Structure 1
Amino acid sequence: MLSIILIGFSLAFDALAVSISSGICNRNLKTFYVVRGSFFFGAFQFIMPVIGWFLGKTFVVYIEAFDHWIAFALLSFIGGKMLIGAISKNKEKTTGKNIDIQNIGNLFILAIATSIDALAVGLSFSMVNQDIWIPALIIGSMTFVLCFFGFEFGKKIGLAFENGSQIIGGLILIGIGIKILLEHIL
């Protein structure tokens, strides 16, 4: 259960970073938009692992012998990508126009973009025979709550927290990937 909670936190960090940035850029963001934005991020973080899990279950008979390596590679790739994005000096800074969650089109795109890694996590869960419904509910709920507070937090402070959250999330995903690999090897 601790692994699922850690995965939930790490997956929520991208959406949290977006919600904080959106709060910073839209200091007068009304409660309706905060709740709607949090719901979108949470809903996509719920549904993407479910989709990944069903895709994985379809193909699991073909990959059972090396599924732990795939789970390790996927989680390490996602975690590494988060680390590189957070550390990279050439990272493009998001402007207020790009993170305006009052526009439903922007919100939809941001919710998809921040939940793609959850698809890979769902695929990884299917490969290690982890049930998906409770983890997906935890991941989605955690994302909703964190984003809700992220919007409010963002209205009050600067951007300094954004990169730190991605680094923590990336390290957690890589650590969980290593844990899965070691459990199957040992």
Structure 2
Amino acid sequence: MIAIELLLFTLVLSIDSFSAAIALGLRHFSARRAFFFALSSGLSEGLAIALGFLLGHFAQSLITQYDHWLAFALLVLVGGHMCYRACMDMKSRGDRGDEVKVHGLLKILFVSSVTSIDSLGVGISLGLVNKPIALYSLVVGIGAFAATYSGLFLAKKLSSRFGEKIEFMGGAVLIALGIKMLSI
């Protein structure tokens, strides 16, 4: 029974990592940067569950009242910025030639952290029902790592097929993730 529960938690909590990887992966990613992004997503998800577990004992009502609003605002800002940059890149396409665009490490860390906010709430819930938090943190973290790599691979295929216009769609995905956070 716990195996099915772990699988379901992992799938649900890794969807945001997968979606964010598709959104950010539309720009070039080196193998090293892809590994860093997958690792930061996995660690963020796993640590968010553990942190939620600990915070659940101290400030459950405060955290759960505002976490979805924070995630919404941050994802909409990052997604909006990506859409803006995509529009500006399309307008000035001829000015820059074949310049390779990449996301910075801070942006990758930021997105990994923001997409893990829902795991914080899950960690609070798991703490309240005394689940084995180390096991959940580890399995969900591994799932987020794998989901991020899968999303980056898919994004590479999409961007080579559809070109730079797809980056605008990536920003829209992050905005949609932010809106989804309001329903949590």
Query: Structure 1-normalised TM-score?
Result: 0.63
Q: Give the letter for the 1:126 counterpart.
A: G
1:115-166 per-residue CA deviation (whole Å, 9 max, x = no partner) reads: 0111110000011111200011010000001101211110102659x59x96
- Where does residue 42 of structure 1 map in the other structure? 42
Match of 1:95 among 83, 108, 120: 83
CA distance in structure 1 between the partners assigned to 2:18 and 2:39 by the alignment: 12
Q: Is the 8 A contact 1:16 1:143 kept in 2?
A: yes
SS at match of 2:83: coil
Q: How far 1:34 moved relative to its partner?
A: 0.6
CA distance in structure 1 between the partners assigned to 2:151 and 2:129 by the alignment: 32
- State, as a whole percentage, how many aligned pairs show the same letter: 19
1:43-84 per-residue CA deviation (whole Å, 9 max, x = no partner) reads: 10010110110112346xxx9xxxxxx8xxx6xx96xx99xx
Match of 1:16 among 15, 18, 21: 18
- Where does residue 149 of structure 1 map in the other structure? 150
Matches of residues 124-139 of structure 1 in structure 2 within 5 Å?
124-139=125-140
Name the Cα RMSD after superposition.
3.9
SS at match of 1:95: helix
Q: How far 1:3 moved relative to its partner?
A: 2.0
Runs (4+) of structure 1 moved beyond 4 Å? 96-100
- Where does residue 177 of structure 1 map in the other structure? none
Q: How far 1:22 moved relative to its partner?
A: 1.6
- Where does residue 32 of structure 1 map in the other structure? 32
Q: Is the 8 A contact 1:100 1:106 kept in 2?
A: no
Q: Give the letter for the 1:52 counterpart.
A: G
Q: Is the 8 A contact 1:25 1:96 kept in 2?
A: no
CA distance in structure 2 between the partners assigned to 1:133 and 1:11 by the alignment: 16
1:16-53 per-residue CA deviation (whole Å, 9 max, x = no partner) reads: 11111222233xx2111110110001110010110110
Which sections of structure 1, spanning at least 5 residues, go unmatched? 64-69, 83-90, 175-186
SS at match of 1:130: coil
CA distance in structure 2 between the partners assigned to 1:35 and 1:146 by the alignment: 12
- Where does residue 120 of structure 1 map in the other structure? 121
Q: Is the 8 A contact 2:52 2:123 kept in 1?
A: yes
SS at match of 1:24: coil
CA distance in structure 2 between the partners assigned to 1:147 and 1:132 by the alignment: 22
SS at match of 1:143: helix
Q: Give the letter for the 2:32 counterpart.
A: F
Q: Give the letter for the 2:39 counterpart.
A: F
Q: How far 1:100 moved relative to its partner?
A: 4.9
Match of 2:5 among 3, 6, 14: 3
Q: Give the letter for the 2:83 counterpart.
A: T
Which sections of structure 2, spanning at least 5 residues, go unmatched? 73-78, 87-100, 159-165
Query: Structure 2-normalised TM-score?
Result: 0.64
Q: How far 1:94 moved relative to its partner?
A: 3.7
